[in-house]
Amino acid sequence: MLLRIHRSAENREVIGLCDRELIGKTFTEGEISISVSEAFFGNQQVTEEEVVRILMDADNVTIFGERCFALAVFHGLLEPGSCRLIEGIPYSTIIRL
Q: pLDDT of 44-77, one tens digit each?
A: 899 999 999 999 888 899 999 999 999 999 999 9
pTM greater than 0.85: yes
The answer to whether residues 67 and 42 touch, using CB atoms and an 8 Å cutoff, is no
Number of structural domains (the chain) is 1
Residue 6: give its domain's CATH number.
Answer: 3.30.1860.10
Q: Which domain holds residue 40?
A: 2-95
